[in-house]
Structure 1
Amino acid sequence: MKKLLLSAALIISAMASAQKGSVLVGGNVGFSSDKVGEAKSTSFEFNPKVGYQFTDNWTAGVEGSIASVDTDWSEKTENYKVGGFLRYTQPLSETFSVFADLGAGYQNESLNNANGIYATLVPNLFINMKKGFGLNFSIGGVGYNNIDGRNDARRESIGFDFGKTFNIGISKNFAL
């Protein structure tokens, strides 16, 4: 009986910081480097998020992204995104949870002064380090991009990049 009560107390205290009515603050950092022959491309991306957890499993909020892409064959490009996200979280234990973020919004690419929309679906693993502060891990997802610039034809892409990217993020839930 003591073990059952102790286990219940641990689960409740771990979930207390990620329950209905809390505010989520977090973000991911991504880096990739590709080399084909002598041509090299590197990119860096930062994605902050702020959301409100309106049920024990659902969070909605705003997200942004700042990315820099540097290649040997063209000028450096900076990309910006701003939009909303919806997150569904499923706890696996007091330490681990899985969640999926569905995000959509506006995007801009500096090189061609291009604008468009994006949509992504990204599964993640959350490791609760202490009191709702934790690490998020992602190895890719599914995405849609559509962008139209002054100097280029409209570009539309659907991507599936599991295993091609690796993102590490942090997040913290604050009780209100």
Structure 2
Amino acid sequence: MVNAQKNSVLLGGNIGFSSDKDGESKVENFEFSPKVGYQFAEKWTAGVEGSIMNVKTTGEDKTEKYKIGGFVRYSTPFSNLFSFYMDLGAGYQNTSLNNAKGIYAGIDPGLFINMKNGFGLNFSIGGINYNNLDGKNDPRQNNLDFNFGKTLNIGISKNFAL
């Protein structure tokens, strides 16, 4: 980050909501994804990440999804206002639908805009994501998604000097 320095703590996350309607069917997603990391070198941060998602579909039970894992971030400044970053994250996930469990991994590039005093806005437009889920009554699912330009994530972060 532009304001981030070695030996600082990154605290950030995203909150998202989406709603899709197709005829009488409606799907609503709500997600909260926090991150906490330690900047151990000038451009490198490592930490933990998580995600809680609720999916509500018309006529079906609500589905809950959880993720917990680690991430590594490489960031490089363009100016005092902008930085580019690349997050690599991986970890464990489960969903209440058939009690499915598995792993995830993802590479997500983004843009950091320095607001003031270590606060910033984070923008990303997708990445490359792998998901593996195995449920009790369903066959194993393996998904590899290239979703550049298909999603928009906006988050906030704050760096704290130690």
Cα distance in 2 for partners of 1:101, 1:32 equals: 23
Question: Per-residue displacement from partner, 1:14-61 (whole Å, max 9, x unpaired)?
Answer: 94x401111101001222222333322121111100001011111000
Q: Distance in 1 between matches of 2:28 and 2:128?
A: 21
Two-structure CA RMSD over aligned residues (Å):
1.4
Could you say which residue in structure 2 is the equivalent of 1:147?
133
Size of the aligned set, in residue pairs, is 162
Deviations 1:49-83 (A, max 9, x none): 00010111110000000001111253211000000
2:46 aligned residue? 60
Q: Larger Cα Rg: Structure 1 or Structure 2? A: 1
- Alpha-carbon separation, structure 2, partners of 1:163 and 1:73: 31
Contact kept in structure 2, 1:106 and 1:116, CA below 8 Å: yes
Secondary structure in structure 2 of the residue aligned to 1:144: strand
After the TM superposition, which residues 1-176 of structure 1 pair with which residues of structure 2 at under 5 Å, given as runs? 15=2, 17-72=3-58, 74-176=60-162
Unpaired runs of at least 5, structure 2 = none
Secondary structure class of the residue paired with 2:97:
coil
| Matching residue's letter, 2:30 | F
Task: Give 1:147 deviation, angstroms.
Answer: 0.5
Change (3 A) 1:92 1:79: same
Tell me which protein shows more helix as a share of its residues.
1
Any conservation in 2 of the 1:27–1:170 contact (CA below 8 Å)? Answer: yes
Q: Which residue identity lines up with residue 128 of structure 1 in the other structure? A: N
Structure 1: gaps spanning 5 or more residues: 1-13
Contact 1:31 1:167 in 2 (8 A): no
> Matches of 1:72 and 1:157 in 2, distance apart?
24
- Tell me the CA shift for residue 162 of structure 1: 2.0
Normalised by the size of structure 1, how large is the TM-score?
Answer: 0.87
Letter in 1 for 2:127: G
User: AA paired with 2:78?
Assistant: L
Q: CA deviation at 1:125?
A: 0.9
